[in-house]
Structure 1
Amino acid sequence: MRTGRYRHRCTIERPTQQQDPNTGAMIKSWEEVGKAWMAIEPLSARAFIAAQAAQSEVTGQLVMRYRPSLQVDSTMRVRHGGKIYNIEGALSDNRSGREHLTLPYSEGLNDG
């Protein structure tokens, strides 16, 4: 496995509800569930055109080493620097299912 591929240190977050101290209303927020080294791979031009034709919001994929202690699903997001990546699914590798995890993503808004 090529070590240099996973060169982006990313934070994986899941949605949670918190109570606003001023209004008492429940608001959506995000909590960190872990960090992982990932490859951030935008779709190629050909794959992007095909995704647009299928009306897919997927604009790329994140690839990380498989970690049984970190269960990632499509309700979560990934933060890297100032960018947010909304996870659209979680795909295990075809060989053993325990080498790497591919996370198709759409780009999200930085809502803090």
Structure 2
Amino acid sequence: MMKIGKLRHQITLQAPTLTQDSLGVVSETWSDTATVCAQIEAISGREFFDAARVNAEVTHRIRIRHRPGIVPAMRVLEGTRTFDIHSVLDVDGRKRELTLMCVERV
């Protein structure tokens, strides 16, 4: 079970939205879907090395309370930092918490 004290980061979840301007040019914009408390952890060197077999780019693990509708096409904002979500894991299958495996944009 997740302890509330570890959720010390406030993050904003965003989903991509395609918009079309008056000239018909389609562009991708981002819309806020939720602001929640989270735990953000950089993946350690060993975990990063082990994860390289599956996904060489994952750099952070973000834990939040379970909420429906979060998919890998979304991203996370935390202050000036941006994280692309690569996978969404229901930790114990009981819909209590989610682990977002992410890559921080630089």
TM category (shorter chain) comes to 0.7 to 0.9
Q: TM-score, normalised by structure 1?
A: 0.83
- 5+ residue gaps, structure 1, are none
Q: For this pair of structures, how many residues does the alignment match?
A: 105
RMSD (Å) for aligned C-alpha atoms: 1.8
- Cα deviation code 1:25-59 (max 9, x no counterpart): 11111001111101001101211122345552101
Sequence identity, in percent?
30
1:3 Cα deviation after fit: 1.4
Whose strand proportion is higher, 1 or 2?
A: 2
The 10-residue stretch of structure 1 (98-107 or 48-57) with the greater mean CA deviation from structure 2: 48-57
Q: 1:100 is matched with which residue: 86, 97, 100?
A: 97
- 5+ residue gaps, structure 2, are none
Name the structure 1 match of 2:83.
85
Query: Which residue identity lines up with residue 90 of structure 1 in the other structure?
Result: V
Q: TM-score, normalised by structure 2?
A: 0.87
State yes or no: 1:38 paired with 2:38: yes
- Determine the C-alpha separation between the residues in 2 that align with 1:78 and 1:97: 23
What is the SS of the residue equivalent to 1:90? strand
